[in-house]
Amino acid sequence: MNILFVADPLESFKTYKDTTFSMMREAQHRGHRIAACEPRHLAWRSGGVVCATVRNITLTGADDEWFNETSTPVVPLAEFDAVIMRKDPPFDSEYFYATHLLEQAEREGARVFNKPRTLRDHPEKLAIMEFPQYVSPTLVTRSADDVRAFHAEHQDIILKPLDGMGGMGIFRVKADALNLGSIIETLNKDGSETIMVQRFVPEIAQGDKRILIIGGEPVPFSLARIPQGTEVRGNLAAGGLGVAQPLSDSDWAIARAMGPVLAARGLLLVGIDVIGDRLTEINVTSPTCFQEITQQTGFDVPAMFITALEAALAA
């Protein structure tokens, strides 16, 4: 099998923790061929098909020079057995355009994971609103007055931008409403941008759990990202401590209910975030934590992913 990974520059990978690298390593271990490109390498000429200038690589097993580049041909995406979209956020205009090029490649016969249209149609924070039975009370709005009313009702709230990542732009406001007006102005930019407001979930002290769902099936361990010091954010990018742990009964219930629904939409890999028993985010762009879970528990997450990919291609 010949697999193309559309990702960030290979030179930027931190291979000791990078999930895309762990996918590549498992794929090569099984005898599959590996190529990589960045979204900027995708091209579509009128009258032609979507192609990419790709880097055919082999992994060396070394920590520093971890791959050898064997050639850089221009290849139609439909010639690969699988195209795996692993570009990290932000989901900006260029990411959006890349999904359109990948969708055209699908029409030409390419098999793309996760499905490009679903990536576009599945905003990671807003997507939780489809599953209200698992969500803490939540408001999506531009209205400062509505945010103030929500705070008056719930007293302790979290405010966040819809396009944030890695814990960026998240604020907590307690019952004293300290700086609430300033935070609203900062996030919604005088009513020009939509924000999300949620009732604070105190179980964040035990961690923001990343639960991976692969081919509709939950990985049996989550990675709890535990806030450190005075931080309210558990994100690893914000300094959270990652601790792998077995799924709780409520984790299983949420993941098993959502897994088949999301898989049917063409989402081979999903990372849902759960605090306590409340769903907070559905990550579909480039979910991570493969290596942390595998290293701490011995459960081989990359192997589960490549097995699911092989099964999807055989279906």
Catalytic residues: 125, 160, 210, 225, 233, 273, 281, 283
3 phi/psi in degrees, rounded to 5: -120, 130
Q: How many C-beta atoms surround the C-beta of residue 223 within 10 A?
A: 29
Classified as helix, coil or strand, 34 is strand
Q: Residue 145 contacts by C-beta under 8 Å, 6 or more apart in sequence?
A: none
Tokens representing residue 92 in the block: 């900006």
What CA–CA distance (Å, rounded) separates 248 from 8?
Answer: 34
Q: Are 188 and 144 in contact (CB under 8 A)?
A: yes
Q: Residue 231 contacts by C-beta under 8 Å, 6 or more apart in sequence?
A: 238, 239, 240
Q: Are 218 and 256 in contact (CB under 8 A)?
A: yes
Q: Are 72 and 54 in contact (CB under 8 A)?
A: yes
Please state, in angstroms and as integers, the Cα–Cα distance from residue 48 to each residue in 44, 51, 99, 202, 274, following that order. Answer: 7, 9, 18, 54, 44
Please state, in angstroms and as integers, the Cα–Cα distance from residue 161 to each residue in 10, 45, 141, 268, following that order. Answer: 29, 37, 11, 26
Amino acid at 116: P
C-alpha dihedral sign at 103, 106, 112, 114: positive
Instruction: Please report the DSSP string for 237-270 in residue order.
Output: GGTPEEEEEEPPHHHHHHHHHHHHHHHTTT-SEE
